[in-house]
Structure 1
Amino acid sequence: MALPIESHNNYTSEPLDATKFGPSCPQARPQALPTYQPEQSEDCLLLNVQVPHNPASSSLPVFVEIHGGGYTAGNAEGVPGDALVHRANGTMIFVGIQYRLGLLGFLASAEVRDNGILNAGLLDQRMALEWVQRHISAFGGDPDRVTIDGASAGGGSVSYQLMAYGGAGVAPFRAAIPELPWWQPLKNETLSQTNYERILGNASCTDLECLRRLPSDQIITLTQNSIRNSYPDAEGNFGQYATGDFVFGPIVDGSFIKGLPTAEFKAGHFYHVPILTNHESAEGVIFTDMNETQAELPGDLDRIFNTPSKDFLATLLNDLYPSNEYASVGEQRAAIFGNLYVDCGTLAIASSASQWGNNQSAIFKFNSSADGGLHGTIGAYVYSADINGPYPNATLAAILQSYYISFTKYLDPNPGRLEGAPFFPSYSEAQQILQISDTDIVVGADADRGARCYFYEANPHTTRN
């Protein structure tokens, strides 16, 4: 709830053990994320720098990873760079960063705006990127060749770093990979204030200063309770939000985030750098109660969208996602959720970058149905603490890693791609993408270019993304 600091003088002269990860930021576990409790500390704004044993030069390109976790969980350890650094064979450095999460990183209200800082977690990320600019050369990295990457909330974070300050000034990176960008609807002032006041009440506090005095374990409990009380309970009684939507996350603050993502990208208010983006084929499934009934759907949709009108819902359910196209209400709802929260964001990013980018040929996109195509499965092919996997498909892992490394080095996934790997087309030329499955990789049209995503784009005050 305050600006991040770059450094402090609290460390002793004793050597720092860099063979293990530092503590994670205080966090809670949203629905749809696995239960995991890492070591936690408020002193968590740390970087994990991985360099090759035998660097090919003294100034290597740098791959910076922003972890996901719904803006309330996750850490750098969960997205290790060992496999990528090994695959790059001495030609790339990997940096994993951490940022404040949940209540500490994304609490929002009028009082926080006036007496604290909004989007503190995003500002932590920006500070880390600026640190890399100033110091990565000490590790053999080239600050002029930094690519930022992230998946899910990490991909959403990459989107917001692209949008930072409306794209004004010089970006602390030269390329970006927003993977499965998590564009949950941004909470408006009313929802943010309601959540803030609920937290104050649960903490027996009356103001922000009281919250600041609380120990971190109580902050974690408040964050977890805020999440738990905001979702449907076991009896089906709805909370403030729908299943899969997270309480905490970025908001429009008028400074770092000047507007809603779709509108900002469409207007060209972002850093015009080369971009590679992607999403899975079944993004909404893990964020959906697949046993949802027809009677529950209207209340669910009312919480996904910002007070949708009857006409909006009629178009959504009758024209765009008619029930006769789905085997169940759960499948219908998962399609709506996946398109809104992830898929259509990749279209907005790729289309806008193709229109506004300084190098319009350096825009790339792929969709993946590999290993079921559930949200986040692509990460198992790219990130591993073991240089040899195991991977769901070792051949596909090698191809994808080669695309990412090539893009980081050359701003193009093709020059350094694995021998025999398919050519990756530029999105700008014919809106073509790579379609990846368990058995093949083919070039095809972008299926997101259709009525569903265009409908969401035309209704930003309802979708809030």
Structure 2
Amino acid sequence: MIAFLSDIVAGTECGSSSDSLSCLRAADVDTLQTLNYNISLAVYYGTYIFVPVVDGTFIVERPTVTITSGHLNGEVLLAVTNSHEGNDFVDQSLTMEISDFVSTLFPDVQPWQAALATPLYQGLGTNVEQANYAMGESIFICPTYYLLKTFGSKGWKGEFAIPPALHGNDLSYYFTSDGPPYDNSEFITAFSNGFMATAMTMNPNDKYNSSDITPAWSTWVSGHTEMMFNETEAGAPNVYTYTTDDALLERCLYWLSLSAYTAQ
């Protein structure tokens, strides 16, 4: 971050100013926009440079520390992740081994720590497929389980799997004005009603629509139960409960053990 700040100061010719911050605030907007664009492009594929940091004052500790200590700003949690959260954030021409990908994605992770990812991911397809899983799980999916564990009997978990089930693909099923790709009224009702019920009564099981086909939804701590939202090969809605894969939870324990090195 210090290096990028130096680039901004130099790019705005504020390096010689006695008050570089005031100089930056008065800098030409177009110049700042160009610098922002160039810096954003320079970071590793699928990552972002301008993110929250733990400064010890405004953000006093890492999120996983807060979560695992039970300090939660909420009454209940309904969390739905997509099957392929990481794909859009990985260069699909990638060929590097999973340990190298982990080291590149998280530079503070030591080589021996990154090497521990190999036995966890090597059975999950090609190198780029392993990277897809690692990206999605480290950033989106595993932190969800950290939250679910802490919320206990007040947490429910679901998975959105309508192909291709990429990050953000679920949005058109909450906000349907543009027409979702899988335009099935039964599915849309089932998928959206759990959120509405939770907002209204703090429980996704409190159905207010008689056409909701979602079965009874147990909390995640009750046997690691999740709700799958998918479609059959014939195009029928397929909504059912299943148990979280133990191998996924093992990988999440790995990411949790690295949280001090991944800014989580």
> TM-score with structure 1 length normalisation?
0.51
1:459 aligns with 2:251: no
Pick from 171, 175, 194: which aligns with 1:379? 171
Tell me, in whole angstroms, the C-alpha distance in 2 between the residues paired with 1:208 and 1:299: 37
Once residues 255 and 276 of structure 1 are traced to their aligned partners in structure 2, the CA distance between those partners, rounded to angstroms, is 30
From 111, 124, 133, the counterpart of 1:310: 111
- In structure 2, relative to structure 1, the CA distance for the partners of 1:331 and 1:216 (3 Å cut) is same
For 1:225 and 1:215, the matched residues in 2 are separated by: 16
Aligned partner (choices 363, 375, 381) of residue 155 of structure 2: 363
Q: What is the RMSD computed on CA atoms of the aligned residues?
A: 2.1
Report the Cα offset of residue 195 of structure 1.
2.0
* Structure 1 letter corresponding to 2:7: R
Asked whether the equivalents of residues 103 and 111 of structure 2 are also in contact (C-alpha less than 8 Å), the reply is: no
Q: Does 1:293 align with 2:95?
A: yes
- Is 1:320 aligned to residue 99 of structure 2? no
Aligned equivalents of 1:291 and 1:390: distance in 2?
29
Query: 1:306 deviation in Å?
Result: 3.1
Kept in 1: contact 2:230–2:239 (CA 8 A): yes
Q: CA deviation at 1:385?
A: 4.2
Distance 1:417 1:321, change over 3 A: farther
Counterparts of 2:87 and 2:259 in 1: how far apart (Å)?
A: 23
Name stretches of at least 5 consecutive residues in structure 1 with no aligned partner. 1-191, 231-241, 355-359
Residue 461 of structure 1 and its aligned partner are, at CA, apart by 2.3
Whether contact under 8 Å (1:260, 1:464) holds in the other structure is yes
Change (3 A) 1:253 1:294: closer
Q: Which amino acid aligns with 1:393?
A: D
- Shift of the alpha carbon at 1:437? 1.3
TM-fit CA distance, 1:397:
1.7
- Deviation, 1:272, is 4.2
Q: Structure 2: which 5+ residue stretches go unaligned?
A: 233-237
Distance 2:91 2:135 in 1: 11
Question: Which residue type is aligned with residue 321 of structure 1?
Answer: Y
Counterpart in the other structure of 1:208: 21
User: Quick one: which of 416, 435, 458 aligns to 2:207?
Assistant: 416
Query: Distance between the aligned counterparts of 1:249 and 1:342, measured in 2?
Result: 15
More helix by share: 2
Letter in 2 for 1:376: G
Within 5 Å, give how 1:213-224 maps onto structure 2.
213-224=26-37
1:393 and 2:186 aligned? no
Percent identical pairs in the alignment equals 22
Aligned amino acid, residue 316 of structure 1? A
Question: Does the 8 Å CA contact 2:62/2:263 hold for their aligned counterparts?
Answer: yes
- The alpha-carbon deviation at position 363 of structure 1 amounts to 1.4
Q: In the alignment, which residue of structure 1 is the partner of 2:138? A: 340
Match of 1:434 in 2: 227
Tell me which residue corresponds to 2:69: 267
Amino acid at match of 2:204: P
Q: Which has the higher contact order (CA 8 A, sep 6+)?
A: 2
What displacement does 1:457 show? 0.8
Pair 424,217 (structure 1): closer, same or farther in 2 beyond 3 Å: farther
Q: How far 1:294 moved relative to its partner?
A: 3.1
CA contact (8 A) 2:103 2:110 kept: no
3-state SS in 2 of match to 1:450? helix
Deviation at residue 253 of structure 1 after TM alignment:
2.4
Contact 2:82 2:166 in 1 (8 A): yes
Q: Is residue 198 of structure 1 aligned with residue 7 of structure 2?
A: yes
Q: Whole-Å Cα distance in 2 between the matches of residues 385 and 203 of structure 1?
A: 44
Does the residue aligned with 2:81 lie in a helix, a strand or coil?
strand
Alignment coverage as a number of residue pairs: 251
TM-score normalised by length of structure 2 = 0.86
